[in-house]
Copies of this chain bind each other. A is one copy, B any other.
């Protein structure tokens, strides 16, 4: 799929100068890819400064890597014929109104025509695709409303455009690195199996995250899961009876019984996510080292206690401090510091006190949870910057709880940071069992 993710030539059918239009938003994003772009517009000579063409037939090349179709449904088939004329390798059909809206025939017509003409299709009914390595960005999400996530080794595929958009947003918000994002919609041609197989071979993909509503070829899907080597996290919706009915009306396919999927996921050690946040955060965590011994250091007792409760629920092991360690902590830290794990360094703790607690425990622990509650503590931005730079040097698994957006922003540059202890505890669960 190199011509899909890193095309040399791209045509956008439905390119527009009108702000707010889908074809304007996509072209704006395409410009970041610095590829050869051919905007197609019936009336305009120029679109966003590029030479435009009235039809795909008019572009000055004979073969095309990628065509993006962003015109109303009724024009899609004719455009596809033009794509065939230009020997187009890949077509992304943004347009909706097909199977998901009850029009199965139109979708079948497209599917068959494409197959006959050796055109590979993503869609219809998609948000587009995004690649942080080739800089290809065909999404109809404006960059002013939705910043792009930083470059990383996780690739994300989503059947639903809206859920895909929300997942994409979570990557950016949590500063989690992303490689590719594919909204694959009705999957009339390229489906989740094709994408997972491709991503398994992609050298810049270490983790594959999927939001799947329905699997068309169950047998092939199971075969892929069986052989799966790279960590694969799946949010399978339509688990319930009602949910399954909704899948049917949303994509026109049956969702299948969840108990079946659940069994398969367990059998093949696939990480199953139940929510969009789990999908994103499990993906971010999965490549970190397994947790053997956690030490929690907090400047607020309450959050330490709650986190202990959640860790015990999830069987996340908290380091038991030895008498020698307790004695050392007692000598090094002020009176009143909680000499248990969680270590409560109290509301007036500065960076130094956190570091002291870390230094006295680090030969026995592989994972630190640093809780930084800002509301009534003496911690400030300078202290957080200092802590951040010191902890970057420490060769440990480190996760933060921070309740102050200002501190979260600093820490998120290098660490995973959560606001609520129950979320952190949940997101660490992939690290407590042996997983692929």
Show the binding face of A for B, using Cβ within 8 Å.
96-97, 100-103, 127, 140-141, 145-146, 159-163, 165-166, 169, 211, 213, 237-243, 245-251, 255, 274-277, 299-306, 308-309, 311-313, 318, 335-336, 338-342, 344, 346-347, 373, 375-377, 403, 420-422
Contacts and interface: CB of A to CB of B under 8 A. Distances in A.
23 contacts: A141-B376, A160-B301, A161-B300, A162-B347, A165-B376, A166-B303, A166-B373, A169-B403, A237-B309, A238-B305, A239-B309, A240-B309, A240-B313, A241-B312, A242-B309, A242-B312, A245-B308, A245-B340, A246-B340, A246-B344, A249-B338, A275-B421, A277-B420
Contacts of A213: 302, 305
Given A240-B309, A420-B276, A301 B250 contact: yes
Task: Please give the count of copies of this chain that the complex contains.
Answer: 2
A243 B160 CA distance: 41
Nearest to A318: B242
Contact of A420 (B101, B245, B275, B313): B275
A340 B141 CA distance: 28
A340 B249 contact: yes
Contacts of A255: 305
Given A162-B300, A373-B166, A306 B140 contact: no
A161 B376 contact: yes
Nearest to A140: B376
A309 B141 contact: no
Contacts of A166: 303, 373, 375, 403
A123 to B, nearest CB: 14
A303 to B, nearest CB: 6
Given A240-B312, A420-B277, A376 B162 contact: yes
A165 B375 contact: yes
Contact of A302 (B163, B299, B373): B163
Contact of A301 (B102, B246, B276): B246
Given A165-B375, A249-B338, 14 more contacts: A103-B336, A140-B376, A145-B375, A162-B299, A162-B347, A162-B376, A163-B302, A238-B309, A240-B308, A240-B309, A242-B318, A245-B308, A246-B304, A249-B340
Residue among A165, A249, A275, A299 facing the most chain B CB atoms (10 A cut-off): A249
A250 B304 contact: yes
A141 to B, nearest CB: 6
A375 B312 contact: no
A245 B237 CA distance: 40
Contacts of A248: 340
A159 B237 CA distance: 40
A300 B373 CA distance: 36
A376 to B, nearest CB: 6
A379 to B, nearest CB: 12
Contacts of A160: 300-302, 305
Nearest to A213: B305
A159 to B, nearest CB: 8
B243 A306 contact: yes
A166 B375 CA distance: 8
A422 B273 CA distance: 12
A340 B12 CA distance: 35
A102 B335 contact: yes
Nearest to A341: B242
Contact of A163 (B127, B239, B246, B303): B303
A291 to B, nearest CB: 15
Contacts of A311: 240, 242
A234 B167 CA distance: 33
Contact of A344 (B141, B250, B421, B422): B250
A305 B250 contact: yes
Contacts of A251: 301
